[in-house]
Amino acid sequence: MTLDLSKRFNRHLLQITIMGDMRKDYVSERFMIVSKKEDKVKDPKKSPFAPGNESMTNPSVLSLVAKDGMLQRLQDSDDEFVEGWSIRVFESKNPIVSVDTENSYSDRPFYSEPAYGYHYIVVASPNQKDTFATIDTEQWSNILVVVQDRLRWLYTQKGVTYVSIYADQGELSGSANPHPHLNILTFSTIPPIIEEEAEASHKILNEKGVCPMCQTVNEEISGPRQVLQTEGFIAFCPWSPSYPYEFWIAPKKHTTSFSKITQKEINDLSLILRATLGGLSQTIKNVSYNLVFHLSPEKKNSRQIHWHIEIYPITKSWSGLERGYGIFLNDISPEEAAEKLGAACRKELANLVGIV
């Protein structure tokens, strides 16, 4: 009997120490991945994302270098690193997902599948003192072009069903490295939140004959939750936010593919991103936040959504009501948040346009 218990314990211990699998909740469509977090960067001189420390990361697949008024697209070789870059893209040394995973599938109640995918880092600036709220609009445009190109390439790769793009800014955001960067992760399945959003949007479209995000944009454009708008985009605090000061940025016209937006649209998106993130940092000092792209899975026969970007400021801890039941408590209404954010963002926009 003791021997059997020992075997069961060792087998269970082996199961919980293996990394690289994506586990589903017993009942709900909720996944988790066991992932070793990279060590927190305490000394800026030892930051792997800083210029001069390129050997601390994987070689770049793209290093954007400004030279003679032009942008050169270079990449590291095995024994030489590109210098003078403004944006750098490479595979993560601590990937959350991996194409080298060997884990197999298991059935309920202990359902798991391989955490198969690609994980790239996009270093958004060579200056580690920068934040997404201080990077200029031209740099933001270059970042979005690089992200767009990587997105297109990843959707040509085998086993890629969905490409997720997100950034974590600040101590409370979940990032171990304060140097501004974005994560691009692929999955072999569509993430539950995107799947739920796509299914709900498809249902409303069939029943009402209207895209729910288009309807939302039309309502919010002149409403009390509008934060800022440019020619092609609107920023607004959602009707039912999960976080205080949460806001979304959406294209005004119906579009389901971020990878197909034009350079003009990219420049416009860069302007509203920079203005709203600048306004957020002015409204809440030293704010931490997550920035997440909600994109359609760019595969045939998959449900499509009106793509947009969601920004989640982290201003307080969640309570048991939020963690246990998914019902959120906010100490500020989205209407009041939009009013405060809007005033700060309009000042940021005026300064940016004045500079341009």
Rounded distance, CA 343 to CA 193, Å? Answer: 31
Give the full edge-to-edge strand order of the sheet including 288-294: 70-74, 60-67, 85-91, 119-123, 181-187, 162-169, 288-294, 308-314, 247-251, 233-236, 226-229
CA torsion, ordered 135, 217, 305, 322, to nearest 10 deg: 80
123-162 per-residue burial string, b: 16 or more CB within 10 A, e: under 16: bbbbebebbbbebebebbbbbbbbbbebbebbbeeeebbb
Residue 294's closest CA among 303, 285, 302, 305? 305
Rounded distance, CA 86 to CA 258, Å? Answer: 23
What are the residue numbers of the active site?
181
- For every residue of 39-76, DSSP letters joined together read PPP--GGG-TTSTT-GGGSPPEEEEEEEETTEEEEE--
